[in-house]
Structure 1
Amino acid sequence: MAMFLPLIFLISFFSFASFSSPATDTLAPSDTLRDGQTLVSAGGVFELGFFIDSFSGRHYLGIWLRADATKVVWVDRDNPILDSSGMLQILSGNLVLTDGRQVPLLVNLGSLATLTTNTCAILLDTGNFVLQETETGTTIWQSFDIPSDTYLPGMKLGLFGLNRSQLSFHILISWASPQNPDRGLFTLSIDRNNTKQLLVRRKDGAKMEIGFWNGNGIRFIFENSSGNMYNFSFQSNANEAFYTFNASKNYDLVWFVMNYTGNLDRYFMVDGKISSMSHALCEDSAGGNTGSCFSSIPSKCDNGASFSQVHGLLPSTSNTSGSLNMLITDCETFCKNNCSCTAFASVQSGQTGSGCQLYYGSKQDLLKIIEKREGLIYIRGGAPSDAKKWKLWLAVVVPLASLLVLILISISCFLRWRKRLKEEQTRQGAIINSDRVRLFHLSPSHHEVRGANNMELGIHKDQELPLFSFSTITTATNYFAEANKLGEGGYGPVYKGKLLVEGQEIAVKRLSKVSRQGSKEFKNEVSVICKLQHRNLVRLLGCCVEAEESILIYEYMPNRSLDSFIFDSTKQVLLDWRRRINIIDGIAQGLLYLHKYSRLRIIHCDLKTSNILLDSDMNPKISDFGMARIFGDNDTRGKTSRVVGTFGYMSPEYAMHGLFSEKSDVFSYGVILLEIISGEKNIAFFEADHSLNLLSKAWNLWKEGSSMDLMDPTLGASCSSSEVIRCIQMGLLCVQERAMDRPTMSDVVSLLSNQSFALPLPKEPAFLSQLSSTYADSSSGRQRHYSQNDITISEEHGR
């Protein structure tokens, strides 16, 4: 089924669909309600449609006041929609939600219509959404039976089915946060043991009586009387016991909300204007807001729930969440109740207003990387203030001053011990550091000579990595047993291993003595990947530099590389369309991180299917950074006299002229995208005349309007043609011959996630297979030899 056009706009805390649609209150079997369309009750009081949770990005079916769309009175919590392709319709008499996953979600799951029942759904001016029989008007299901956090006039709050084996509860459940409509910490219901009482329960088991029936009306703990705003009634019999209420004639509407903080909020509307009053629930039999109050769960976090102020700004790292549309007080509540949250800060934007940033990393790391600019950061458990630092300094200096004489006497002994230690280090060729585990970096080398003589072991601030002994690696791989060999690439063989102490499975990459790569690539891969952290990048666990061995230790990927699936006729069927889309998106996210969000801007320069590894859940991880290039913040393009890469994936400007940029990786990504869709190798696909590769085939089919002929036949009915054609067009945009015509990875990620945006028309791609197998560069006198064995490309230099 084709994807639907999403339409999103921001409000205070949420984004609601507000595009104009026919002013109707009824959904008939022939109608569909899509994201951006709404139902409006007959009197124009309430509106039903899809809104966006700005915290998670999920879409929900909900009902809100038309006078103020921020006042959501009902939400279908059980059926969140992943994107803007949501659609509500009546199928076989029932309310059914669908989205891009094409999985039907029943809204009225607890009260299903029969297959022969003719039904329609109506949004009433009471805020009740009712599914009823068209001819008789009999109610089959209504939203009032599954309230969220809002208690509206006419809604019944209580117990039903008391004379049956299975009870039905109508209760209010607070939102998880101002942005998140998931079930929160607090519930409002009647007491099962004493149905005349209203109770608020907290997630940790605590409860409080907040109201009771006195025979004439309800008495709340926060007021002496209900005044003339609303009239409650209580009914109880053998089958049911419930409260309901209606607003007095002086008010257009009155309603209650179980707040996510534990307060009970009361709203009332007069002449279209809305006012509110928040009531803290406190133990005070005389009424009023004093005594022990019922609020959020006390913090059980190790660092407590107190926060201290530090001047500065939160850094933009992988541990910092995006900006949220919430006030600083709400931000504190959210962070306080999430023990993983280390710190929070308020942010201001002229376009989006106030917001919030949350930090989930180590507090010690945060204190080192705080940006010294104007702003305030609130750190859990406190951070050393200037006064505390001064006291700490005094506490250290005073004892040291009193022991100064002893230190001077012992310093000569220390120097002698230090000298002996350095001599021992020289003899053993090892590094010993009593303060921390020794880490290493590789020294520059002008020659591809392997061995410890070319490696300088030491400590470097920005390049730290655990160092494994060769004996540990041989034990883990059973002495590099052939049975543990996973494969072999340009670097050398890769083995599966298992560390004896931790029991962790690892992948061991051993530099071969006949490898086309050497210490430069080894150093490059270590220097690049140890700075990177992203879920779509393979994680480097450590290395071994001993004698003539140069070994890298990675996390083990049980499903190995992408090419082992898409180019294998027996494994292709394991990758359905959803998995392939997830892989396509994951690779794009990893590249976007390398190009834009990592500590260093990285150009991979050797992106191919064999360098995309798959974890146990088939999530892609980019690997092999031996040929990667590091860019400065102001660099846009580089040039090299040493062109190394894999034929079929290299951009023409890199293969022919040694020019590389972010667009070089974009080209490689486009080739991979087309290979994932087709199941064919670009380099291995040739027609009888040896002139037509996968790129040219995709281009010709697209021009003829037959792009679906490129699709891997094993995908069958698991995909929609519109998605496949859009992805093929995206691939063609990425492999255009001129680098300036290709999109950036930011553009690719945006276009992949927003199906409503029209893609530009691609220009003719680079058909590298049509080039001569040898290309002479007249300007440099160099000659490159292109390998057609899917391994590497190398070049020769004249002396």
Structure 2
Amino acid sequence: MAMFLPLTIFLISLSSFSSSPSHAKDTLTPADMLTDNQTLVSAGGIFELGFFNETISGYHYLGIWFKADATKVVWVGNRDVALLDSSGVLQIRSGNLLLSDRRLVQVIVNAENVASSPNTTATLLDTGNFVLKEADTGTVIWQSFDVPSDTYLPGMELGLFELNTTQPSYNILVSWASPQNPARGLFTLTMDRINFTKLTVWRGDGRQMDIAFWDGQHLRFIFDNTTENNDYTFRYQTIDEEAAYYTFSNNKKYDLIWFVMSSTGNLDQFFLANGNIWSVSHSLCEDSSGGNTGKCLATLPSMCDRGDDFSVMNGSLPSAFNNGSIYMGTSDCETLCKSNCSCTAFVAVQDGQPVCQLYYQSKKDILKVVDEKGSGIIYIRGGSTSSSDGKNLKFWLAIAVPLAFLLILMPISLCCYLHYGKRLQASRQQEIINSDQVRLFQIGSTDVSPIQYNGAKIANIMELGRQKDQELPLFSFSSIQTATNDFAKANKLGEGGYGPVYKGLLMDGREIAVKRLSEISRQGLEEFKNEVLVICKLQHRNLVTLLGCCIEGEESILIYEYMPNKSLDSFIFDSTKRKLLDWRKRMNIIEGIAQGILYLHKYSRLRIIHRDLKTSNILLDSDMNPKISDFGMARIFTDSDTKGKTSRVVGTFGYMSPEYAMGGLFSEKSDVFSFGVILLEIISGKKNIAFFEADDPLNLLGNAWSLWKEGKSNELMDSTLSGSCSSNEVTRCIQVGLLCVQERAMDRPNMSDVVSMLSNETFALPLPKEPASWSQLSSTDADSSSSRQRYQSTIDVTTSTIHASK
């Protein structure tokens, strides 16, 4: 407690300069709603919480800043999910801090620790800490100090936690993308993962520098020449091999001292005294004096001739000029453009919506077609060119070009002419390699040299990374090795038909799922490419997000957002876990899956047939929301397509429609059949395939059909659901499932009708016909096992499942 005494003294003294009234509200309750023009102010009037906007893009963020100086933002609550405009709202729902805007996309601010009680309050403290706690007991559920942004305040714990588990957590600082943009930037300040006595800064290219070490009594920074700094006191703490962290307090000389990991790679130290704020910027250099030795950890140098600076202008550009648009923030879009030296400009906001449109025409051509009345924001590499500049340029070109031509023509030799083609090809190949390396530098740690890329891999990178209407971040293999602890067994989440899946942790603190192509996998590069090309174009809350890929040597790796609750089958087929899924949660999962499939079939930029829908391909996030994954078998349909045919039927036995399994025919109705199986499995808690394995004369579909005809549908229901739902709801859902698994594709409803059936109780349901599998197993062939064998022999069956790690 002694370490907090100086902090208490500063809080008392600081209240003298605050102009905030004593009755200012510092607590958010379930009855409150914080909007753009409202704030919380800490009890002493020191810190303020509310919404602020990025001046260039107009995006809004939830943040905490000093009441005396709103430009000094110390924490950002939604760095990865910016709000579109001033429509942002913060409120407490079901005990959690919920952030949303006019898009109605909800972000749980305290996603790391979700509340179990709906009776909570959130208070902004004079320390700058925003604390969510149970109203009755005062137990802290979550606090902003545990998820710092770029600022290190007194009392914060910077380090590693839960070290004795397979999923340790990290409190780190990540710089802003730029002085104006609070998105995650290039620099990360963290405790060294091996030697806990050191603090290390990592740059986006994987380069690192130790900037401080614990000498047993004090934390010594490389820019500190004294043996002991009297401005602050650091403490190094360990807890029973579970945690190791640093925390600090400032002395009486200043009201407050804090540190900021800046977007330029410097460590800025701020001081507050008597209401005044000033700072000192420390270059992180290898010599202790902080001088310019050329070995400083500074911002990445540009690899493009025109640099990485962009001028900003209002307006819009014709759609014919851009290479398609994708949904991402300004910072990510800028990173994509910077990574490709051919990118001349990009648009990050169009008609008030966040987009990312990249342009590759000459800057001169782009400036000719800019519609200055448009509502977008255009970023042009190297600055804009005025008309007068253009006239001067033409004048000098008229003189310089003929002269340059004569000077160049004279020394040209036949040898240079003969070798010109080879040199041009080598130059273009090197530009490709350099551009890919820039992307690797900015996304992950890499020491890859151009020689490691053979011709085949360059072609693959070009095909996957430079599609006409999509670019996907490329991770280096070394960064994935680091994130997964060299693919440690403890980080393995499971294994599917593609290969093993591992949990990983990036240097910026993001948790990821890493899917690595196995050498013995029946799926290969074609499925890898297919998944990348399909899922890149999709954005929906019920589809898993693909963060990037890695193509290096013989490695083909996909990097996804991490789903903490693993896959749906790990819950509904587990006798213990399925008790956690009451009727409401199961219905939420069913409806979410239906919405995701409907988006694929009707509302996405492309019409997608998934072809491998099953419970193991439905992942669950921290709030048990379903996300469809694994698009390796998916197929893209045009508007005129109604069905397709393949000679290689690949899927999972028990989920495939009969027309696909027996004849290779697939359509939207194939996915509808798979959804029907999943729905019945969720309700019953039983596998459809399990009936076959037990040589049961009725599979799950046949059993559901038999009970429905006898008016005993509720007997199919999982016994753990007893008392949590009405019999009418269960019967209606089972009927929807039976409608989806009818034998003839034309009899099945489309996903639009399915969504209506599930969400609208007044929607009249037709009577279902016999399910496909029931009809086949009720044929004149009495030997059900032989029927099953003939059915199975026609398909390349996969029974891949990802199980939760223990």
Q: TM-score, normalised by structure 2?
A: 0.47
Larger Rg: 1
Select the structure that is richer in helix: 2
